[in-house]
Amino acid sequence: MSVTERRRSSARRESLLGDQPGAFATARYQRITPMKARRVVDLVRGLPVADAQSVLKFAPQAAAETVLKVLESAVANAETTEGLATDNLVVSVARVDEGPTMKRWRPRAQGRATRINKRTSHITLVVQPADEKKGRTA
């Protein structure tokens, strides 16, 4: 295995794509709760890229804007690094993992305080050519 081949395959790419063609993008530490982000990500999983972009542009949820940016980044990665055609791509894996939670305190009545959890998300999208997606189970 040459140096360029070793550099090209990372452990992350292996876990998401294996040896199949495709590209991925990740947005980490996004200040949206994972539960809210998963509602949006579930809308685009399995869709062609053009359909997924139009769904995200008109989705009323706040997380749709962030997911759209990640999708556009994944498509750009597929074009530039992998040399794949954009019109043939499908969102094969869409995942939202929980990031670190920031803990804050809010003063309440009679000297009490309640904890406020400000949750963060790690959003990962994988795009693959439509014919390659059929053999993959996600």
Closest alpha carbon to 70 in 104, 97, 88, 101: 97
User: How many domains does one find in the chain?
Assistant: 1
Q: pLDDT value at position 138?
A: 47
In whole angstroms, give the CA distance from residue 54 to residue 43.
11
The tens digit of pLDDT for each residue in 100-122 reads: 999 999 999 999 999 999 999 99
Q: Per the domain annotation, does 137 fall within a domain? A: no
Provide the domain limits for residue 68. 3-132
Q: Per the domain annotation, does 138 fall within a domain? A: no
The tens digit of pLDDT for each residue in 1-44 reads: 444 554 556 888 888 888 888 999 999 999 999 999 999 999 99
Is pLDDT above 90 for 127? yes
CATH number of the domain encompassing residue 48 = 3.90.470.10
